[in-house]
Amino acid sequence: MRLMTPLAVLAGIFSASLATAEAQDYPTNPITVIVPFAAGGPTDTVTRLVAESMSKTLGQQLIVENVGGAGGTLGAARAAEAEPDGYTLLLHHIGMATSATLYRKLPYDPKTAFAPVGLVTEVPMILVSRKDFPANNLQELIAYVKEHKDEVTYANAGVGAASHLCGMLFMQAIETQMTTVPYKGTGPAMTDLLGGQVDLLCDQSTNTTGQIKGGEIKAYGVFADQRLGNLPDIPTVKEGGLDGLSFGIWHGLYAPAGTPEPIVAKLSEALKVALADPKVVERFAELGTAPVPADQATPAALQQKVLSEIDRWKPVIEKAGEYAD
Ligand code: ASP
């Protein structure tokens, strides 16, 4: 047994009470929220809406920093290395779980490198194309891709992104590979789709709704069990003949592992307030999504989601055999 000297015990008590005092005062400075994708994309959109509301509750500005690249893993790595003091957070999506299998080497362990704060929202995916792409429904699209194969370009936000996962599942389902064009996020990918530089993209409704409604791009199918309330004319991919491709892109808020529990609890409470904010709820609905229920905006719910989603996607990714270094 190791005995502590009275001085070491006192020092321990002192530093613990210092941490509690710091947590009580938290936050006294602006907070950086890392978005692991480029500005203007769906993760960015969700983060900015939630951050604005949390800033009001916490009395300090939440500043979004876009750290795009490598399918979200660069930004996640940056957050994992940050000081665990509550002043650097990360808002990431399903890529937190899929990258655990997709990457042979990750500079962080998605299961242990973060202190989960809470789930934020779950967003449906929609398969879209440039406006003048020569296919007008999912069946025509599949026939065209099968005929033209890698002449067809598919934009994504890198290995580990939701757009990568969606493209991987789609190509696996139709047993045909296209040429993928990686971006730092689907914000810039959408810009190129609108400009006609790439053919296809599968992205969250939070980044496609406006362009579909405006007739600037074509939509072929929603990867959900039911059509979306905000886009009732777009069929599900199941209606278009592709079964078993229903999945949602969940987003979660994290702090680096080791962040004091009272700080994480404060952040989780502020997240709950943001998710009940009428402005957030209304904008989410316009974009085809909704905040998670309050009991999901908790560290335990997000931790459970990360672990169960790593297990869910592992065999799917292994079957596809797509890995990155
Ligand atoms: N939603 C995008 C994706 O995962 C990334 C982004 O938010 O820009 O493909």
Distance from Cα 184 to the centre of ligand 1, integer Å: 8
Distance from Cα 237 to the centre of ligand 1, integer Å: 20
Our mutation pick for probing the ligand 1 site, out of 91, 126, 207, 313, counting the most ligand atoms within 8 A of Cβ, is: 207
- Per-domain residue ranges of the chain: 30-123+249-320, 124-222
Distance from Cα 164 to the centre of ligand 1, integer Å: 9
In short, whether 204's Cβ falls inside 6 Å of ligand 1 is: yes
At residue 23, the pLDDT reads 79
Which CATH number applies to 124-222: 3.40.190.10, 3.40.50.300, 3.40.50.970, 3.40.50.11900? 3.40.190.10
Which pLDDT band, with edges at 50, 70 and 90, does 168 fall under?
A: very high
Structure tokens at 269: 């409470």
At residue 264, the pLDDT reads 98
At residue 24, the pLDDT reads 84
Which pLDDT band, with edges at 50, 70 and 90, does 121 fall under?
A: very high
Give the HSE-up count for residue 259: Cα atoms under 13 Å, Cβ half-sphere.
32
Q: Is the pLDDT of residue 151 over 80?
A: yes
What average pLDDT score do residues 19-35 get?
88
In short, whether 42's Cβ falls inside 6 Å of ligand 1 is: yes
Q: Is the pLDDT of residue 14 over 60?
A: no
Output the average pLDDT for the chain: 94
209: Cβ–Cβ under 8 A, 6 or more apart, which residues? 230, 231, 286, 287, 288
pLDDT in tens, 91-117: 999 999 999 999 999 999 999 999 999
In short, whether 162's Cβ falls inside 6 Å of ligand 1 is: yes
Contact 222, 59 (CB under 8 A): no
Distance from Cα 162 to the centre of ligand 1, integer Å: 6
Is the previous residue joined to 27 through a cis bond, with omega within 30 degrees of 0? Answer: yes
Look-up: residue for tokens 């005092």? Answer: 21
Reference 101, options 47, 168, 189; nearest CA is 168
Ligand 1 atom at minimum distance from 187 CA: 8
Radius of gyration, CA atoms only, the chain = 21
pLDDT in tens, 230-262: 999 999 999 999 999 999 999 999 999 999 999
In short, whether 161's Cβ falls inside 6 Å of ligand 1 is: yes
Judge whether 30-123+249-320 and 124-222 match in fold. Answer: yes
Give the HSE-up count for residue 85: Cα atoms under 13 Å, Cβ half-sphere.
14
What average pLDDT score do residues 12-33 get?
77
Distance from Cα 186 to the centre of ligand 1, integer Å: 5
Protein residue with least CA distance to atom 8, ligand 1: 185
Contact 16, 22 (CB under 8 A): no
pTM of the model: 0.92
- CATH T-level assignment (fold) for domain 30-123+249-320: D-Maltodextrin-Binding Protein; domain 2 (3.40.190)
Q: Is the pLDDT of residue 10 over 60?
A: no
Contact 59, 115 (CB under 8 A): no
Residues 2 and 284: their CA atoms lie apart, in Å, by: 55
Distance from Cα 262 to the centre of ligand 1, integer Å: 31
Which pLDDT band, with edges at 50, 70 and 90, does 1 fall under?
A: very low
In short, whether 185's Cβ falls inside 6 Å of ligand 1 is: yes
pLDDT in tens, 208-221: 999 999 999 999 99
Greater model confidence, 324 or 154: 154
Contact 178, 153 (CB under 8 A): yes
Signed CA dihedral, 106, 109, 113, 114: sign only: positive
